[in-house]
Amino acid sequence: MPTGQRRQDPYMNFRFIVEIEGLIVAGFSEVSGLTAETEFDEQREGGVNEFVHKLPKLTKYPNLTLKRGLTDSDVLWQWHHNATMGRVQRRTIHLVLLDSEANETWRWSFLQAYPVKWLGPEFKADSSTIALESLEIAHNGFTK
């Protein structure tokens, strides 16, 4: 590598934090749903047989799923419970990717987010795994 150039190693997927506006919660062990998919219409053009025009339409954002070990803190449960009682509290959620020195490298902001599903742990007497809670979050898209 030429002198003065910095290596561009990929970031590790286990170095991240989740910030939920107005809520103090423990670290999450897993986040999924960081996806954006744009639908399109296909339009044929008369006399053009080599390709079909693909015209963009709506962009869809699936729900974000947050998982963490179950603790004494019930803030995620309360946030979801309030939504089930008709008291929807929309918040901004930030997913922050960190480098090997714990510096912020990427930040995704999920806008107008609110919980739509809470999933408690699965209990098994013959297992020694950690009890996990999962919260599924609907949102109005995200920005970087």
Work out the pLDDT band at 3, boundaries 50, 70, 90: low
CB 26 within 8 A of CB 17: no
Q: Is residue 132 part of a domain?
A: yes
Domain limits for position 127: 16-143
What is the total count of domains within the chain?
Answer: 1
Share of the chain above pLDDT 70, in %: 94
Q: Which of the residue ranges 7-16, 101-110, 134-143 would you say has the lowest mean pLDDT?
A: 7-16
Q: Is residue 85 part of a domain?
A: yes
Each residue's pLDDT tens digit, 5-42:
766 777 777 788 888 887 767 678 899 999 999 999 99
Report the pLDDT value the prediction gives residue 81, as an integer from 0 to 100.
95
| Paired residues of 41 in beta bridges | 55
User: Which are the contacts of 106, defined by CB distance < 8 A and separation ≥ 6?
Assistant: 11, 96, 97, 144
Q: Is 76 helix (H, G, I), strand (E, B) or coil?
A: helix
Q: Is residue 81 part of a domain?
A: yes
Q: Is residue 134 part of a domain?
A: yes
What are the structure tokens assigned to 49, written together?
């047989």
Q: Is residue 89 part of a domain?
A: yes
Q: What is the CATH number of the domain that holds 51?
A: 2.30.110.20
Each residue's pLDDT tens digit, 58-73:
999 999 999 988 888 8
Q: Is residue 5 part of a domain?
A: no
The answer, yes or no, to whether residue 46 has pLDDT greater than 80, is: yes
Q: Is residue 11 part of a domain?
A: no
Q: Is residue 98 part of a domain?
A: yes
